[in-house]
Amino acid sequence: MHDDVFCKIVRGEIPCYKLFEDEYVLAFLDISQVTKGHVLVIPKDHYDNFLATPQKVMHKVMDIAQRIGQVLIQMMGAKGVNILTNNFEAAGQTVMHFHVHVIPRYKESDGFRLEMHDNHEGLNLPAIQEMIKSNLE
Ligand code: 5GP
């Protein structure tokens, strides 16, 4: 039994604005509402993060995240949606229970910013390719 905040939500010990629930998955409003309609989708069983989640469960979570993203665009007037999951503290994960953020986007300065810089200069791309590729099988 885990004591993280999402396990407590699954067990009904902490309330949430629930959107969807089945045998595997729970979806609810993120308390911080980074943008209006910000949703979290989690597995009901505990896995520390996306990387630690069995494929079948991960697929169930992603199916619901996709559906919620579609609804946010169709019904909430969102112009876009960011779907992301942080893995480990170094990547910004604060709750150590796998969760997918579904963040509707309305305009550039709507409360969420993702910065990706081009840092490729000086990197040995063939070596990086080989290191990753050779470990995929
Ligand atoms: P992370 O930084 O781990 O990717 O995201 C954790 C998210 O969980 C944050 O966006 C935060 O607002 C949300 N969160 C933390 N505690 C609660 C809670 O008790 N209820 C809800 N609904 N969301 C929470």
Instruction: Identify the CATH number of the domain in which residue 57 sits.
Output: 3.30.428.10
Is residue 1 scored above 80 in pLDDT? no
Ligand 1 contact via 131 beta carbon (within 6 Å)? no
Cα(3)–Cα(64) distance, rounded to whole angstroms?
24
Q: Quick one: tokens of 68?
A: 């919620």
Would you say the CB of residue 48 lies under 6 angstroms from ligand 1?
Answer: no
Number of domains making up the chain? 1
* Residue 70 Cα to ligand 1 middle (Å): 22
The pLDDT value recorded for residue 5 is 98
Q: Which of 11, 101, 85, 24 is nearest to 52 (CA)?
A: 85
Confidence check: pLDDT of 67 > 80: yes
- The range of the structural domain enclosing residue 80 comes to 5-136
pLDDT at position 126 over 80: yes
Question: Model confidence over 14-46: pLDDT tens digits?
Answer: 999 999 999 999 999 999 999 999 999 999 999
Task: Pick the residue whose CA is nearest to atom 18 on ligand 1.
Answer: 31
Q: What mean pLDDT comes out for the span 118-125?
A: 98
Judge whether residue 136 has pLDDT over 80: yes
95 lines ligand 1 (CB under 6 A): yes
